[in-house]
Amino acid sequence: MMSLPRAMKRGISVVSDAIFLLTALWLAGWLSGTLSLSAVLPEHSLGLITWLVVSLVVFYLLGLYRAILRYMAPQAVATVINGVTVSTVALAVLCWFLPLDDILRLTLCFAVIAVLLIGGSRWGFRSALQLKKQKTKSRVLIYGAGCSGRQLLYALQSGDEYKPVVFVDDNTELQKTTVCGLTVLPSELLEKAVERYRIDRVLLAMPSAGRGRKRELLELLSRLPVPVQSIPGMADLVAGHMKIDDLQDIRIEDLLGREVIEPDQHLLQANIKHKVVMVTGAGGSIGSELCRQIVRCKPAVLILFDVSEFALYSIERELNAVKRRFGYACVIKPVLGSVQQQKLLEQVMTNFQVNTVYHAAAYKHVPLVEYNMVEGVRNNVFGTWACAEAAIAAKVEHFVLISTDKAVRPTNVMGASKRMAELVLQGLASRQNTTRMCMVRFGNVLGSSGSVVPLFAQQIKAGGPVTLTHKEITRFFMTIPEASQLVIQAGAMAKGGEVFVLDMGEPVRIYDLAKRMIHLAGLKLKDKANPGGDIEIQITGLRPGEKLYEELLIGNNETKTEHSRIRAAQEQCLSWPATMLLLNSLDVACQSFDQQMLRQILLDAPTGFAPSSEICDLLFVSSLGNATVKKELVH
C-alpha cells in the first residue's frame, strides 16, 4: 500500500470506511437488539445507501482522506469524531423510517463502534508504520530537558532518522522525573546512560547556554564513544534561519569556549554608516567577513576590490542577496585589480570619493610565501605601500591595515613582510596627517583559508590520519565575525600610526584541539595507549618558517582603549626617509630576484626577523640545483 498512487490509497480508504460503517451498524444492531440488517435491507436499501454516501461525503469534506496515515496528528481524532457524529445523526434520521423501538440505544452503540473502527484502524496502521521504523532509527540521548529539548523531542518523533530514548539534565528539579514520556537522568549517569540505552548519538539542546558553559559540557561529552551534535543557536532559531531539528556538528568556537562581547555600535558605525567604504582582498576569508559586517552598518557605497575574479563574483553575489533580503540601500561596486597597481587604486578611491579603506589583501600562507619570497614581499609590502599612497592622494579619511601576530618576532618571510608593511604605514602616518592610518594585529581566525580546523574536519571525515606539524604547537584563535567586528571598532579609535592588538584569549594547544574533534565525532584516538583506536594523529614536523608559539606584542608597552578587547601597542617605528631607504633596497632585491639580498634586508630592518630555516624559495633552490649540476658536468 505504501507504493500505491495517492488516488488509489484514498479509494481504498473510502471503501474501508464504507465497510467499517456497515460493520458498526450491524454490530450496533446486534448488541442493542433493535436492528437486523437482513430484515430491513430489501425494503430500505436505498435509504441505507443514501446514508452511507452522505457519511463518506462528510468524511471527505472534513479532510479525512487528505491526511497521510503515517503523519496523522492527534488532531485527526477530532476529525473522525466529527465525521462519525454527522453519520450518526444521518442514521438517526434514517431510523425514523424503520420499525425500531429504541433509536437512541442503536445510534449510541453505532457511534462508539464506528469511532473505534474508523479511528482505531488509522491509528493502528500509523503505529505499525512507526514501530517498523523504530528499528531503523538511531537511538539518541538529548542533553537538556528544558523547552528546547522538548521541542527537539517532538520534532524528532515525527521524523524518520532519530528515536529519542532518554533525557539528561543538570536541573535537580527535573532529574529522576519523566518529561514527555522520557526519563530525565543527572549528568553523573551520562556514561552509564549511553551504555544502558544503547545510544548512537548525543544531541545537545541548550541553545542559550554561553560558550563557557558549552565548553564545560563538551569536555564532558567528548569522553563518550558516540558522535555529539547540537541544535542551532538561539539567534538562528529566533530569526527563523534554522529549525530546532536542523542538527549541526559541534562548532569549533564552542570547543574554545570564548564568550563573545557585543560590539559597541557607535564604534562599529563611526567610519562606515552613510560613508563610502573600500575593502581590498574583499573575496578572502577576512575581507569577505569584513564586507558582511560593513553592509550591516549601512554604508552609502561598498567597493569590493580583489585580484581574483571568482572570489569577487562570489562575495558580490552574496552581498547583493543580503541587501535584497534585509532591504539595505547601499550600492555595491566590484572592482578587479591588484593592490600593487597604485594608479588604479588612486583612481578608484578618487572617483568614488572613498572615506574608509580596510586593507585585507595579503598573502598569508606561511609555507607558500617561504617558497615565493619575492612575490610575497611585493604583495604584502609594496601592495600595502601602493594602497596607502593612493589613499593619501585621494584624501581618504581612514586607512586600516589588517596585520597578524606572525609579524611579532617573525620566523618566516610572511611575518617579516607584514611587519615591514606595519613600518611602512607607521612611516606614512608620521609623514602626513590627511589620512589616519592604523594597524590591527590578531592571530588565527576559525574557518579561514589557512585554518587547521577545516583541514582536521576533512581528515577525520576521511578516516584519518590527522596531520599535525608538532605536538606542542599552540595558537591563538578567534572567530572571523568577532575578529572583523573588532577590526572595525579598532579603526574607529585611531588617531594615526597606532598598532592595535586584539585580545585573543588563551592560546590553544593544537594537539588537544585535534583530540577533542576526534572524540566529538564519536571516534577514538589511535595511539600507543590505544592501538585499536579509529583516528591517528601524525606528527609531520614543523614546516619552513613555522613557529611553535605565536605572540601579539613585541614588547610590553601597551595601553588600554575604550574597548575591553582592544589594546594599543607602542611599537618601534622609523622615520619616513629611513623607511624609504629600506623600500628602495627591497625593490632592487625584488627586481633582480635576489633572494639572499631580500632576506638580508629583512634581517637588517627593525622587524625582529629570525628565520627558522634556510632560504626555501623555489626559484632560489632550483638555481642552486642547476649550478650544482653544471659544476658536476664540467668536472
Cα→Cα distances 203→247, 437, 519, Å = 8, 48, 14
- Give Dmax over CA atoms of the chain in angstroms: 128
Cα→Cα distances 228→156, 194, 223, Å = 16, 12, 10
DSSP one-letter code for 612: S
- What is the b/e burial string over 59-80, where b = at least 16 CB atoms within 10 angstroms of the residue's CB? bbebebbebebbebeeebeebb
Contact 428, 577 (CB under 8 A): no
List 137, 214, 364, 406, catalytic entry: 406
Interacting residues of 433 by C-beta distance below 8 A, sequence separation 6+: 496
CB atoms within 10 A of CB 85: 14
Per-residue 3-state assignment (H helix, E strand, C coil) for 217-267: HHHHHCCCCCEEEECCCHHHHHHCCCCCCCCEECCHHHHHCCCCCCCCHHH
CB atoms within 10 A of CB 130: 15
CA dihedral 65, 67, 73, 74 (to 10 degrees): -10
Half-sphere exposure of 499 (CA within 13 A, CB side): 28
Helix-helix angle 6-32:37-61, to 10 degrees? 140
* Residue 422: φ, ψ to 5°: -65, -45
Element (H, E) at 295: helix 285-296
Residues 273 and 271: their CA atoms lie apart, in Å, by 7
Grid cell listed for 240: 527563523
Helix-helix angle 413-431:383-393, to 10 degrees? 20
Residues 635 and 626: their CA atoms lie apart, in Å, by 14
Residue 560 falls in the annotated catalytic set? no
Give the rounded distance of the alpha carbon of 466 from its chain centre: 22
182-185/162-168 β-pairing: parallel
Grid cell listed for 487: 577590526
* Residue 94: φ, ψ to 5°: -60, -35
E strands along 331-476, which residues? Answer: 331-336, 356-359, 398-404, 436-442, 444-446, 466-468, 474-475
CB atoms within 10 A of CB 313: 15
Residues 310 and 504: their CA atoms lie apart, in Å, by 31
Contact 493, 564 (CB under 8 A): no
- SS3 label, residue 273: coil
Half-sphere exposure of 69 (CA within 13 A, CB side): 20
Element (H, E) at 499: strand 498-502
Give the active site residues: 406
